[in-house]
Structure 1
Amino acid sequence: MNISTTIGDYAKAIQPQHTTIGDAIRLLAATQPDHPAIVSTGFQPLTYRELQILIDQTRVALRAAGLGRDARIAVAMPDNISAALAIVAVSCAAVSIPVNPKQTLSEVEASFVKLKPSAVILASNDSSAARTAAGRLGIPIIDATIERTRIAMQIGAGQASSECGASLADGPDSESPAFILQTSGSAAEPKLIPFSHRNMLAAAARNQSWFKLTPQDRCLSASPPFYSHGLKVTVLTPLLSGGTVVFPADGSRFSFSEWFEDLKPTWYSAGPTLHRMILDQVRTETNAAGRHALRFILSGGAPLPENVLEGLHDVLNVPVVEHYGSSEAAQIAANLPQPGQAKPGTCGRPWPGIVRIVGEDGEDLGPGQQGEVLVGGPTLISGYLDAPELNSASFSNGWFRTGDLGSIDEDGFLTLHGRSSDVINRGGEKISPLEIDDALMRHPAVAEAIAFPVPHPRLGQDVAAAVVLRPGMAATPVELRRYLQDEVASFKVPRRIVICDQLPKGTTGKVVRRQMGAWFEANEQQAGAKSVNTAPVPTGTDGVDAMLAAQLVSVWERLLQTAPVALDDDFFDKGGDSLLAVEMLSEVERLTGQTVPPSVLFEARTIRQIAQKLSAQTARADSVTKLNPQGTATPIIHLHGDYNGGFYVSRLANLLGPDQPLFVIDPHDLGKERSPLPVPTLAANRLRLIREAQPNGPYRLSGYCSESLVAFEVARALTSEGETVEFVGMIDPPTVSARRYVQLVLSAIRLARPIVGSTVDHWAAFAWFKFTQLDRPWKVSISQRLAAAARKVRKLSSGGRDQPTAGTRIPTLSESRIAQIFNTSTDDWSPDVREISNYAPEPLAVPVIYFAADYGASPWRRITRDVVTIKLTGDHFDAVKDPANLARIADALKERLRDSRKA
């Protein structure tokens, strides 16, 4: 059998009693042993032969521990790769129970009590809630040793052997559960879904047929494998198709170069939240459509907004199609890439014979008529575990009531019209409101509570809750949110909590959950309601650092893609979600040098509140921020030179790729009252930080603006100490300091110091400033110069400022924002100009990559003979703000790094 053999072909070759996931993988391991099964950043690929060895070793280890094919083995591994490996290996020998490692102790304990696992597989160095829960409940723990140099793991170290032919007979059969998934439905307790080997093989064959999957396809798996979609669609479907699963280093942080260029997937499937995150970043990529190998993109879990679907299609130039499935029946319907058929706004065509639309009387409805969606077929489970009443209500004569309302048109395309249940669909995360109700009711101050969905601009739905307190008891929304953090997973914690005197009730005396959204919207407009968003905040600027507040405004506007953002705007009300919150807090940590836990957003959700909290803490000390710290390459040490915060460095790190560390150093006195120092003094100070971060060479240095000059002087100091400096990347520093005639003029001016005193420094700064203005037009024509001058006049006019005189600091965008928000003026910048004008670089034999925007590289050719010029678009400030420029910078640096490796 050749490598393109389909599941249908080889399934026929296996005896009916052995048609399992393990049989399918064993056949693939025999026919394509060296084909990569799993690939991940920074690791050697895992072949099908090696995957089979892991499966065999796991089977023997479980049997040696007395665990047979019917044993339920919980898998709570810390990362997606090890979790996927363990789940697949256990499923081939027993019944695996994927466990979300982010669940709280109480949630894990509740799952273990209901599922009664025979053992729990954990990483040997794990100290998670699952280990604590297993210890409390007396469940045996099997330690798995994870290898850090390659994709591999050892389950039950020292007990396993690959010589396990005799143990094959005691493996699962086709009707045995391969894994048991847990999902929250309309009930308070999760439903337990046993998905059999027969179910999974049929589901994989269905996807293979729909999307023409072959062993040459590579599926990007960014969805956690403890969720139905992540496990069935992005792990087992490609494996059972003989293809390759590729895992990014961090599934929550998108990197175009890593995800699409390095891993080279041909398809991926995800929910709307991840698609939106990807779109937000690929829009800024240069030639994104020509830099990937994708054939198509799948979306499921929740409706994909039309603008996201069209945006991904336009930017990446590949089909983006929606599909529909459920945990109980896997993929049910799908739109297909060409030459298949698709209809935007629908779920696609269902697999033949597996979907019915029925009315309230249970009778089938005609085309276009709305009713409940019923699903059957070989991918449908036989029923929930230990839930006879739920099974009676949900399953009948081989059909499952999905709880979805839908219709099928004349062309056979399925459209969903909402849910008949109350499940909250938060960006694809299904949340049971009853679970939140129960958690809130466990708080001693709460008498009544109800959770419900509210609209969210990015996630579709978010969680809110209304609470009535017990007489004489007190609790604030912040306290309740903090309490819930320990009771439920973080994505289930309501973003808004309203404390009220009574809940609205219907005619039967019960709260109508579906009407709570409208009640909540009206309630927020009433002055009497106390919500988390109306917590008192101080007026004026007391306790708020102006620079930090302006930096936060810039971060929020960039992430939320909206402007203006005010000091008292709520992050989540403005469209923020959990993914953006992580990125925002990461930026804040880098800006302030302080550790900012995610829990800060439970009590500080506006810029004013966050700035006050951070300002109350210790001011940041000089430090080195390490981006891509797990990378194995020699780091690039970058002096970011942006007194507005250096937001661009995270983007630059992503463009360089996860294997290239980027060590970032802030400008001197960032966020403090500035004390300008000579360039050599700054270089000596930065040399200390650099030596601490990287004690030995070779060194790779870069900088932006005047910090490029500091980086160049650091290179001089390092070479004088016998170290090798591979290059200095200089992003548009002023060039006049390298011109001999400028140095002579400034020296002549300073000769007047004995006569006129320190005023001569102002004259020198004035002359240097004028020289920089003369030096800038090197790259433009006369007409372009006139147009640029006109733009500058308009900018100055709109800001209410006249042409600046010598010694007047030109305000940056964030500083102008400070003045606008706080009604303050900008500081005089002549001390900075004086120090830069005093700097005259001497020749140094070190390679320079000069990124030219406003300034040209020619003067630097007398300083070093090895100068490569990369032209950037826009002006000096666009050099690092324009995503296209950052891509050019990253590409040039990567090319130099490749040349260094060849040498």
Structure 2
Amino acid sequence: MQQSALDHRTDPAPAPRSSAQGSRTVHGLLDLRAAAQPDRTAISTDTGTRLTFADWRDRSVRAARALVARGVRPGDRVGLVFGLRDWPEFAVQYCAVTRAGAVAVPISDGRPAEAVGGLLEHCGASAVVAGAGASVPLGPWWIAAPAELAAEAAESGAAAVQLPEVAAADPAQVLYTSGTTGRPMGVLASHGNVVHGTRPLARHRPLAHSEEFLHAFAVGTNAGQTMLVNALDAHPAALVATRFTPGRFARLIEQRSVGSVFVVPAMAAELLGAGVQERHDLSSVRLFGSTAAALPPSVATALTAAFPNAVVVNYYTSTEAAPAQTAMVFDPSRPTALGLAARGAVMVAGPDGRPLPAGETGDVLLRSPGAQRAYYRDAEAGAAVFRSGWVRMGDVGYLDPDGYLHLVDRASDVIKSGAYKVSTLQVESVALEHPGVADVAVVGLPHPVLGTSVAAAVVPAAGTAFDPAALRSFLAERLAAHEIPSTIRTLDVLPRNEAGKPLKRAIRELLAT
């Protein structure tokens, strides 16, 4: 039956590998899914673009041959610069690159051209495939549009190009971190790491409660790469919102009866702030997943009311630690918990790297259940993060007596004010409980006596007359005196990166002026 489903194709693609072989590479997962469900939609966008598994496989095979014909060889790094509107084409080119034995380097076209060039230079890219409208600077790499590769693949003799064998241990991608606390770091992952935990031939696939899962994650983010693997492995098709606004996102949920939704906390707060639950039917959602940062308890509580039929899940991982993660269905009795280890293991360690007892605060580390990732071309920085199978997350936290992880703050964000240490996450979480606060970021500013003082950038809730004094009074009833911001500045919007994380360096500069 599988062979007949593929007989209609004109491109003489390689025969699908066995399940044991195919499940070990990213494009191998695609081969297996295309053989089993060729006409099923894999990815679609809110603009009407649709990609079936058969199309995804066939087009990736042809593009891979065009890449090899152009001289791409195993191990070469190939930049993939695409935007949200081009998600299906990005997926095609990603699998084309890995089929060619090369290493995919996904980069959002939302990054400035100079930043794109810096990443391409760092990874030593030999080639770039770019979507419509992407700005890629000239360099020692050649640049092609997907249509060019498709045309070259259609030329006589292209079908005879041989594609290399690719193994689980071979590198699949270099993914760059957001760079919120420093320069972006390239994180190298093998095929075995990227596909770890997938079950391509399972009778019951993940997210089986829905026919579509919705997201608006940029290419080049760890959350975006997770959505790519979901598209290959999960039951529902990926639905990409090509531009995130609360109303647009909620309309898609209502119109398409979306069953699974994935956001970052900032998106969740925007949905609630816009009151979309009052104007749209959100009852189809069974899973509301948040990732990239800790979900503030007040936001999580409000989500359970706005999405009455959904479980609200907070996922915690990093570009370096994936696929290790913790997961937590929001529990009002543990409002700050990020959950137990869902994949791999979690540990809170002291300065000597040894585990700390429950309740004691220290460095948070995750351990991957599969092959570990590594920093690309930066062994020195990697030595401080990757430790004997464990990955240092850069967060400070503790485990409660039941083993649930709780974050205190980013290690780099903890404010040392006089004799006290202040958790910015704690202050932000309490501030968000105030009805006049739609969004907030807390940072430390230089102080002549204390060393550092607490400052807050606040986005007022729509329709409210924000009063900093009223916010201070509100906080004074819930926080210690040293935690109350001495500086409060209102902004129309918080500067954030494409992963949805607040750019605290930029916020600190705004508040310092």
Query: So what's the TM-score if we normalise by structure 1?
Result: 0.44
* Structure 2 counterpart of 1:388, from 379, 389, 401: 379
Q: CA deviation at 1:357?
A: 2.0
User: Does the CA-based 8 Å contact 1:41-1:247 persist in structure 2?
Assistant: yes
**Alpha carbon RMSD of aligned pairs, Å?**
4.1
Q: CA deviation at 1:384?
A: 0.7
The change in CA–CA distance for 1:209 and 1:579 in structure 2 (over 3 A counts) is farther
Residue 254 of structure 2 corresponds to residue 246 of structure 1: no
* Structure 2 counterpart of 1:371, from 359, 362, 367: 362
Larger radius of gyration: 1
Tell me the equivalent position of 1:398: 389
Q: CA deviation at 1:260?
A: 0.4
AA paired with 1:328?
E
The change in CA–CA distance for 1:17 and 1:349 in structure 2 (over 3 A counts) is same
When you count strand as a share of all residues, which structure comes out higher? 2
Residue 38 of structure 2 corresponds to residue 38 of structure 1: no
User: Does the CA-based 8 Å contact 1:458-1:577 persist in structure 2?
Assistant: no
SS at match of 1:24: helix
Tell me the equivalent position of 2:410: 419
In the aligned structure 1, how far is the partner of 2:57 from the partner of 2:22? 20
In the aligned structure 2, how far is the partner of 1:564 from the partner of 1:183? 35
Residue 88 of structure 2 corresponds to residue 86 of structure 1: no
1 or 2 for the larger relative contact order (CA 8 Å, sep ≥6)? 2
Tell me the equivalent position of 2:465: 563
In the aligned structure 2, how far is the partner of 1:168 from the partner of 1:311? 55
* Number of residue pairs matched by the alignment: 444
User: Does the CA-based 8 Å contact 1:84-1:231 persist in structure 2?
Assistant: no
Residue 222 of structure 2 corresponds to residue 320 of structure 1: no
Tell me the equivalent position of 2:59: 54
* Structure 1 counterpart of 2:140, from 127, 138, 141: 138
SS at match of 1:59: helix
In the aligned structure 1, how far is the partner of 2:47 from the partner of 2:204? 32
User: Does the CA-based 8 Å contact 1:56-1:164 persist in structure 2?
Assistant: no
In the aligned structure 2, how far is the partner of 1:320 from the partner of 1:401? 26
AA paired with 2:152?
G
How do 1:430-469 and structure 2 match up within 5 A?
Answer: 457-461=437-441
In the aligned structure 1, how far is the partner of 2:360 from the partner of 2:445? 34
The change in CA–CA distance for 1:49 and 1:161 in structure 2 (over 3 A counts) is farther
Tell me the equivalent position of 1:258: 251
In the aligned structure 2, how far is the partner of 1:327 from the partner of 1:102? 19
Q: CA deviation at 1:280?
A: 2.6
In the aligned structure 2, how far is the partner of 1:408 from the partner of 1:564? 37
Q: CA deviation at 1:412?
A: 2.5
Q: CA deviation at 1:56?
A: 0.8
User: Does the CA-based 8 Å contact 2:326-2:343 persist in structure 1?
Assistant: no
Name structure 2 gaps, 5 residues minimum. 3-15, 416-423, 432-436, 469-487, 497-513
Residue 475 of structure 2 corresponds to residue 573 of structure 1: no
The change in CA–CA distance for 1:564 and 1:188 in structure 2 (over 3 A counts) is closer
Q: CA deviation at 1:576?
A: 2.9
Q: CA deviation at 1:142?
A: 1.1
Tell me the equivalent position of 1:655: none
User: Does the CA-based 8 Å contact 1:270-1:299 persist in structure 2?
Assistant: yes
SS at match of 2:65: helix
In the aligned structure 1, how far is the partner of 2:34 from the partner of 2:351? 50
In the aligned structure 2, how far is the partner of 1:257 from the partner of 1:404? 32
User: Does the CA-based 8 Å contact 2:26-2:195 persist in structure 1?
Assistant: yes
Q: CA deviation at 1:517?
A: 4.3
In the aligned structure 2, how far is the partner of 1:298 from the partner of 1:55? 30
Q: Deviations over 1:843-879 (max 9, x none)?
A: xxxxxxxxxxxxxxxxxxxxxxxxxxxxxxxxxxxxx
Q: Deviations over 1:14-73 (max 9, x none)?
A: 345871011111000000111110122242532111111121122111111110231211
User: Does the CA-based 8 Å contact 1:458-1:575 persist in structure 2?
Assistant: no
User: Does the CA-based 8 Å contact 2:359-2:400 persist in structure 1?
Assistant: yes
The change in CA–CA distance for 1:189 and 1:44 in structure 2 (over 3 A counts) is closer
Q: Deviations over 1:696-736 (max 9, x none)?
A: xxxxxxxxxxxxxxxxxxxxxxxxxxxxxxxxxxxxxxxxx
SS at match of 1:255: helix
* Structure 2 counterpart of 1:280, from 258, 265, 273: 273
In the aligned structure 2, how far is the partner of 1:203 from the partner of 1:505? 52
Residue 221 of structure 2 corresponds to residue 227 of structure 1: yes
Tell me the equivalent position of 1:114: 122
Q: CA deviation at 1:575?
A: 5.3
Q: CA deviation at 1:143?
A: 1.7
Tell me the equivalent position of 2:505: none
Q: CA deviation at 1:88?
A: 4.3
Q: CA deviation at 1:356?
A: 2.0
Q: CA deviation at 1:344?
A: 3.4
Q: CA deviation at 1:307?
A: 2.5
The change in CA–CA distance for 1:256 and 1:188 in structure 2 (over 3 A counts) is closer
In the aligned structure 2, how far is the partner of 1:214 from the partner of 1:163? 42
The change in CA–CA distance for 1:409 and 1:205 in structure 2 (over 3 A counts) is farther
Q: CA deviation at 1:383?
A: 1.7
Q: CA deviation at 1:404?
A: 1.6
AA paired with 2:55?
E
Q: CA deviation at 1:74?
A: 0.7
SS at match of 2:189: strand
Residue 133 of structure 2 corresponds to residue 126 of structure 1: yes
Q: Deviations over 1:150-204 (max 9, x none)?
A: xxxx645333589988767504321222221111558743211012211111155
SS at match of 1:172: coil
In the aligned structure 2, how far is the partner of 1:119 from the partner of 1:423? 41
In the aligned structure 2, how far is the partner of 1:14 from the partner of 1:255? 39
Q: CA deviation at 1:299?
A: 1.1
The change in CA–CA distance for 1:573 and 1:168 in structure 2 (over 3 A counts) is farther
Q: Deviations over 1:494-537 (max 9, x none)?
A: xxxxxxxxx8599xxxxxxxx5443x68xx9xxxxxxxx9xxxx
User: Does the CA-based 8 Å contact 2:445-2:453 persist in structure 1?
Assistant: no
User: Does the CA-based 8 Å contact 1:98-1:180 persist in structure 2?
Assistant: yes
AA paired with 2:113?
L
Tell me the equivalent position of 1:853: none
In the aligned structure 1, how far is the partner of 2:215 from the partner of 2:408? 29
User: Does the CA-based 8 Å contact 1:256-1:282 persist in structure 2?
Assistant: no
SS at match of 2:194: helix
In the aligned structure 2, how far is the partner of 1:225 from the partner of 1:122? 12
Tell me the equivalent position of 1:176: 170
User: Does the CA-based 8 Å contact 1:225-1:235 persist in structure 2?
Assistant: no
Q: CA deviation at 1:465?
A: 7.8
AA paired with 1:159?
A
Q: Deviations over 1:203-229 (max 9, x none)?
A: 5569x9999423954221211122111
The change in CA–CA distance for 1:196 and 1:342 in structure 2 (over 3 A counts) is farther
In the aligned structure 2, how far is the partner of 1:277 from the partner of 1:193? 30
In the aligned structure 2, how far is the partner of 1:253 from the partner of 1:353? 34
Q: Deviations over 1:782-801 (max 9, x none)?
A: xxxxxxxxxxxxxxxxxxxx
The change in CA–CA distance for 1:116 and 1:245 in structure 2 (over 3 A counts) is same
The change in CA–CA distance for 1:342 and 1:239 in structure 2 (over 3 A counts) is farther
Tell me the equivalent position of 2:299: 308
User: Does the CA-based 8 Å contact 2:325-2:343 persist in structure 1?
Assistant: no
AA paired with 1:138?
P
The change in CA–CA distance for 1:221 and 1:353 in structure 2 (over 3 A counts) is closer
SS at match of 1:158: helix
The change in CA–CA distance for 1:349 and 1:223 in structure 2 (over 3 A counts) is same
In the aligned structure 1, how far is the partner of 2:251 from the partner of 2:180? 39
Q: CA deviation at 1:253?
A: 5.2
Q: Deviations over 1:780-835 (max 9, x none)?
A: xxxxxxxxxxxxxxxxxxxxxxxxxxxxxxxxxxxxxxxxxxxxxxxxxxxxxxxx
* Structure 1 counterpart of 2:401, from 410, 434, 454: 410
Moved more, 261-270 or 247-256: 247-256
In the aligned structure 2, how far is the partner of 1:54 from the partner of 1:337? 41
